[in-house]
Amino acid sequence: MPAFWKHLDQLESYVCRALLAVFVTLLFVQIVARQLFGFSITWIEELSVILFVWFAYFGASYAARMAAHNRVTFHLNMMPRKTARIIEAIGDLFWILFNVVFIWHAVQFISRLKPFVKAQTLGWEMRYVYMALPIAFALMTIRILQVNYLKLVMGIDPRDPDKVEVEQALELAEDEMRAYQRSHAK
């Protein structure tokens, strides 16, 4: 069962990887077809755009899971970590409320779409294309709740992976500088 939960925790990552691989491959095929054979495959462009949009929304959900969304934190960095976590949670509560309202409106919009509203070249009903909106925002809401549970209940502070990499690089540079200074001080 732990392996199942580990894979479920990476759901958006797997979806994003698959979407990225497919739309980049499709775009490559389109470029080759245009440049080498002089013709265009019309449905590839439309499908690539749809896949890219889905990629962006699922990527936003994945970023929420990684606590990697942009936010103003200079004032939070000056506070005790416990206080900062509470303020972040209050901000996340507003984010969740926005997501819930957005999901509601997206579902209302999709339910009003008529079956004849279709993608031009693919012929797919647009309601299926637009399903990315409520699905991704629902996943994002779950991930926001998950991150806050980890922070506030479990005491685990998930950190933005880019920030962690920068901090590790700075620490490495400081260690190298100290080693250099010691070697030249002798």
Q: What is the pTM of this model?
A: 0.78
Q: pLDDT at position 31, please?
A: 94
Domain residue spans of the chain: 2-161
Residue segments in the chain with a per-residue pLDDT below the cut of 50: none
Q: pLDDT at position 179, please?
A: 81
Q: pLDDT at position 52, please?
A: 95
Angle at 173 between CA 168 and CA 175, to 5 degrees: 95
Handedness of CA 61, 63, 66, 70 (dihedral sign): negative
Q: pLDDT at position 7, please?
A: 78
Q: pLDDT at position 108, please?
A: 97
Q: pLDDT at position 162, please?
A: 59
